[in-house]
Amino acid sequence: MGYIIALAGKGGTGKTTIAALIVRALKEKKLGSVLAIDADPNSNLGEVLGAKPGDNVGAILDNISVDPNKVPAGMTKERFIQHQVQAAIQEEDGFDLLSMGKPEGPGCYCYVNNVLRGLMAKLIKDYDYIVMDNEAGLEHLSRRTCRLADMLIVVSDASSVGLKSAKRIIELVGALKFEVKKSFLLINRFNKGTQKDKIKETGLDHLGNLPLEPQIEQLSLQGRSIFDLKSGAQILTALNLLGDQIWKHN
């Protein structure tokens, strides 16, 4: 069974970049097969990882829900959905990528979501690690389209607004009764002015801090991937120091 590392956080905290950095670390350390799931329709995990845009699950389900007649004769609807979603998985160098896409449209999704839940459960078994970049509302987890996370990393900056958002996210996890095995707070773009009492108020164990990394902004402006980040970058060093808590689970 794959080990699921889910990331959440308000927009602008850098969670998509951190998700990509974790994928890079898993690949470079050759810890096993990796499936990166972009479950935030407003993020660009594939772009940060240097992958070209491909089909996404949301568009596939929209098409099937609006026009069920698209299912070929002689193929069940369930089998067709499975085939389409499998085909949407992008095979990259050292990892696979699946984009969940935008929220649902006006069609009926009860059946297709049930099929998607079963398919996601099967997919997870095929990989050693699954890195899921979620939106703050944990939409795909709340619809149970993916099994619950082994580790949830809530990403925040050092601001009061960011930390309050982190607290709301973990409260949402509790309200929705997710069975997250471990949950942590990760401070990105850390500064020494962060107040420890504010971190404690989130109710999350503090995993650690990652420094502001100027190289990342330059890569973004140049449209380059996280794999172009120099191996000696401070943020990579800091992330690797936290590695035992993030990806070592045996």
Read off the pLDDT of residues 124-171 as tens digits, 9 standing for 90 and up.
889 999 999 987 666 655 555 565 789 999 999 888 888 888 998 888
Cβ–Cβ < 8 Å for 144, 117:
yes
Mean pLDDT, all residues of the chain: 84
pLDDT of residue 46: 93
Chain centroid to CA 82 = 21
Confidence bin at 172 (pLDDT 50/70/90): confident
pLDDT of residue 25: 96
Domains in the chain, CATH or no CATH each = 3-51+95-101+124-246 (3.40.50.300)
Q: At which residue do the structure tokens 């509790």 appear?
A: 174
pTM for the structure as a whole: 0.90
- Beta strand 151-156 pairing with 129-134: unpaired
pLDDT of residue 42: 75
In DSSP terms, 134 is beta-bridged to 39
Q: Is the pLDDT of residue 210 over 90?
A: yes
What is the pLDDT averaged over residues 203-218?
A: 91
Contacts of 219 (CB under 8 A, 6+ apart): 225, 226, 228, 229
pLDDT of residue 103: 57
Q: Is the pLDDT of residue 217 over 70?
A: yes
